[in-house]
Each structure stands twice: as C-alpha cells, then as structure tokens.
Structure 1
Amino acid sequence: MRDLGWILLYLLTVVGVTLIHQPLYLLIGLVVVILFSGSLRWRLLRKALLSMLLFNTAVSLGYLIIALLRDEFRVEYLILINVRVLLLVMLGFWLSARINFANALRFSPTLTFLTTLAAGQIRLMSRIINDYRAAFESRCLKRPSWRDRSRLAVVQTEAVVEQSHHAATEIGQAMRSRGVFND
C-alpha cells in the first residue's frame, strides 16, 4: 500500500508541477528531488538529462526559431519549459527507482497484468539494443566514427520499432482473448 501512496503522490506532484509557471520554484523543486534521491542522485540526474536531450533540444530550437522570427523571444519561457521537463523526468526516474509498480498495483489484476507486460517489453527492448551494440562493438577494431554509430542507432531503432509493432499486435490479441478489452 505504501508503493500505491507514492504513485498517488507522484501523480499529484506532476499536476502541481504543470501548474507552476515560475522557473525559480521549479528549480527549487528540482533541487529537492535531487537531494531526496540520496545515493542515486547523480545517476538519476544523468539519466534524466540524457533521456530528454534530443526532445528538449528539438523543442527549444523550434521555439527559438519561431520566437526570433516573430520577435517574441523570451529566455524565461525557454528556461521554464526545460526546467519543467527536467523536473518531471527526474521525478519519474526517482519514482521508478523507488517503488515496485507490480506490487503497488496489485489491487487490480488488470493493472498488474499490464505492468508485467510493460516490464517484459522494456527488458526485451533493452536486450535487443544491448545485443546490437555488443555485435557492433565486437566487429570494430577501433572506436567507430560518429557516422557509423549513427547508422547503428538507425538500425537499432528500426529493430525496436519492428519488434514493438509485432509485440503490440500479439499482446493486443492475447489481452482481447482474455477479456481485458470490451469491444
């Protein structure tokens, strides 16, 4: 029941964070989350920064270009959206490192089932990515160029998307046959 309480607190916190429009308060929240992360703080922060890097760079550049073209650029807004996303991602990683989702959702057989499926898919996709990376590294005598690593990323993405599509189809059929969906 304690894990379910953390999930509910997380959901309330996410709503609260989206209602805050002052970057200073979001920064204070981020510092609090970092401090409460204990020994995991730097690993979680690094993971959060890396996971949001591509998305936030694209969004920030898009905002920058449009705002400059319209002569409406506000650095405060750019800081606000980036700090908010970092705080939300950090909260998500902190929660997932802290609780057992299957245990928290055991009150509902359907949610437990979905959680188990999601965890299995995450492990499967991680294994596919690690297998591709290991195969790639075992075939290289020296450090691969940025172009070669980019090609690997494209191939990994294609494999993960293909596997995800196949798995989603199979899982959807299995869930429908077990009565999870009422269609």
Structure 2
Amino acid sequence: MKDRFMLLLYMASVLILTSVHDVLFLSFFLLSLLLISGRDIFALLKKSFISVIFFNFTISISYIIFCLLKNEEWLSYVVLLNIRVFTLTFLTFLFVSKINIFKAVSFYKTLQYLLTISYSQILTYRRSFEDFSLSLKSRLIQKPDRKDAYTFVSRVFSYFFKKSLENSREISQAMRSRGFFID
C-alpha cells in the first residue's frame, strides 16, 4: 500500500513539476528532495548529474545560440529548464531507490506484465554491455585509444539498436497473441 501511495505521489509531483514555471518553487522542491534523500544524497546527485549533463548542455547551448542570433533574453529559460530537468531526474532516482516498483503497480496486472518485460530487457542489455566492456578489456593490453573507443561504442550502439528492433517485433507479436492489442 505504501508503494502505491508513493507511486501516486510521484506521478502528482511530476505533474506539478512540469506545470509550474517558477524557478523559486522548483528550487524549493529540489531542496526538499535533497533533504528527504538522507544518506543517499551524494549517490543520487551523482546519478542525476551524469544522466542530465549531456542533454542539458546540448539543449542549453543550442537555445543560447538561437537567442543570441535573435537578440532575445535566454537566461531565465535556461535556468528554468535546467532546474526542472535536474529536479525531475533526481525525483525519479529517489523514487526508484525508495520503493518496489513491482508492488506499486501490482493493482494492474497488465501494467505489471509490461513492467516485467521492460525490466527484463534492461537487465539483458546491462549484462550485454558489461560483457562487451569486459571483452574489450580482455583483448587489449593497454587502454584503448580514442579511435578504438569510438569504434567500440559505435559497434555496441549498432548491436543494441538492431537488438531493440528485433526484440520489439518479438514482444509485440507475443503481446498481440495474448490479446494486448485489440484490432
């Protein structure tokens, strides 16, 4: 029951965070989340920062350049965007660390089934990525140079992309045969 309540609280928080456009409110909300996180604060901050840095940097720089070319103000929007995205990411990591998501969606069997499929895919991809990383390390005596690292990343990305397409077809067919899609 606690997990269901936390899921509802999480969904309401996401709705609020995406609806409110006040930087002070978002900052206060983030500060509240930081206080709630307790001992996990530094691990959650690190995960959140690593997760959003590329997205936020790319979007922020693009928006700043666009506004500079149009001679428009950009600072308030960039601050709002970055605080909102970081707060939502931190909230999600905090939520996942505090509840059992499978118990939270246990009231709806279809959703629980979809979550199980998604979670098994995540675990499979994580294991595959770890296997790829270990195979790269075992085949090289020294640290890979930039070209080798880029080649590795592009090949792994290609593998995961193809695997995702294959898996989505198979899962879609399996779900259709079990009555998930009523045509």
- Do both proteins adopt the same fold according to a TM-score greater than 0.5, normalized to the shorter chain? yes
Structure-1 residue corresponding to 2:150: 150
**Is the contact between residue 37 and residue 94 of structure 1 (CA under 8 Å) also seen in structure 2?**
yes
Q: Does 1:134 align with 2:134?
A: yes
Q: Give me the whole-angstrom Cα distance separating, in 2, the residues matched to 1:32 and 1:141.
A: 48
Q: CA deviation at 1:176?
A: 0.6
Matches within 5 A, 1:5-154: 5-154=5-154
Q: What CA RMSD, in Å, does the superposition of the two structures yield over aligned residues?
A: 1.4
Q: CA deviation at 1:104?
A: 1.2
- Would you say how many aligned residue pairs link Structure 1 and Structure 2? 183
**Is the contact between residue 63 and residue 74 of structure 2 (CA under 8 Å) also seen in structure 1?**
no
Q: Give me the whole-angstrom Cα distance separating, in 2, the residues matched to 1:154 and 1:31.
A: 38
The letter of the residue matching 1:112 is Q
Q: CA, structure 1 residues 158+106, in 2 after alignment: closer, same or farther (shift >3 Å)?
A: same
Q: Which runs of 5+ in 1 are unaligned?
A: none
CA deviations on 1:48-87 (whole Å, 9 max, x unpaired) are 1111122112211210111110011321211110110000
Q: Give me the whole-angstrom Cα distance separating, in 2, the residues matched to 1:8 and 1:2.
A: 10
The normalised TM-score by structure 2 is 0.94
State the identity %: 34
The letter of the residue matching 1:68 is L
Report the 3-state secondary structure (helix = DSSP H, G, I; strand = E; otherwise coil) of the residue aligned with 2:21. Answer: coil
**Is the contact between residue 23 and residue 80 of structure 1 (CA under 8 Å) also seen in structure 2?**
yes
Q: Give me the whole-angstrom Cα distance separating, in 2, the residues matched to 1:179 and 1:153.
A: 38
The letter of the residue matching 1:182 is I
The letter of the residue matching 2:95 is L
Q: CA deviation at 1:148?
A: 2.8
Q: Give me the whole-angstrom Cα distance separating, in 1, the residues matched to 2:41 and 2:157.
A: 29
Q: Give me the whole-angstrom Cα distance separating, in 1, the residues matched to 2:157 and 2:38.
A: 33
Q: Which runs of 5+ in 2 are unaligned?
A: none
Report the 3-state secondary structure (helix = DSSP H, G, I; strand = E; otherwise coil) of the residue aligned with 1:107. Answer: coil
Structure-1 residue corresponding to 2:3: 3
Q: CA deviation at 1:142?
A: 2.1
Q: CA, structure 1 residues 43+147, in 2 after alignment: closer, same or farther (shift >3 Å)?
A: farther
Q: CA deviation at 1:160?
A: 1.4
